[in-house]
Amino acid sequence: GNSVTQMEGPVTLSEEAFLTINCTYTATGYPSLFWYVQYPGEGLQLLLKATKADDKGSNKGFEATYRKETTSFHLEKGSVQVSDSAVYFCALNSAGAGSYQLTFGKGTKLSVIP
C-alpha cells in the first residue's frame, strides 16, 4: 500500500535559517505529491504540489522536487520567517488507487524563533 515517511520533529530554527524537511514515499502507480501546512488553530492548507517526476512545486519561497529515483519530495526554504511556524505534512495520492484519497505523513512541527 501507499505510505509517506517524514523526518520527525519538532524542528527549531532561527529566523533566516535554511530549512529542509525530508519526505520519502512508497506508492503504487504514479502518485501526485503534495505538501500541506497547518497553522495553529487552522485547517490544512495546500502549500505546493508536483504531479510527475522531476516537477518542482513552489510557493511562498518553499520548494520541493519530485524525485522518482529516490522516491523523495523534500521541502526546502532558503530563509525561514517566524510566520512559517506551523506543522508541515507531506502527502500523496495515487492514480491507481481508485478514490484518490490522500495518504499523509505524520507531520513535522517547525518553530522559528526571532
Partner 1 sequence: GAGVSQSPRYKVAKRGQDVALRCDPISGHVSLFWYQQALGQGPEFLTYFQNEAQLDKSGLPSDRFFAERPEGSVSTLKIQRTQQEDSAVYLCASSEDSLRSNQPQHFGDGTRLSIL
Q: Which residues contribute to the site for partner 1 (CB under 8 A)?
A: 4, 31-32, 34, 36, 42-46, 49, 51, 89, 91, 93-95, 98-107
Task: Report the nearest approach of partner 1 to the CB of residue 55 (Å).
Answer: 10
Q: Which is nearer to partner 1, 29 or 78 (CB)?
A: 29
Run of H or E including 32: strand 31-38
Task: Report the nearest approach of partner 1 to the CB of residue 104 (Å).
Answer: 3
Q: Which is nearer to partner 1, 79 or 101 (CB)?
A: 101
Distance CA 90, CA 103 (A): 9
Residue indicated by cell numbers 487552522 = 42
Candidates 9, 61, 19, 54; CA nearest to 33 is: 54
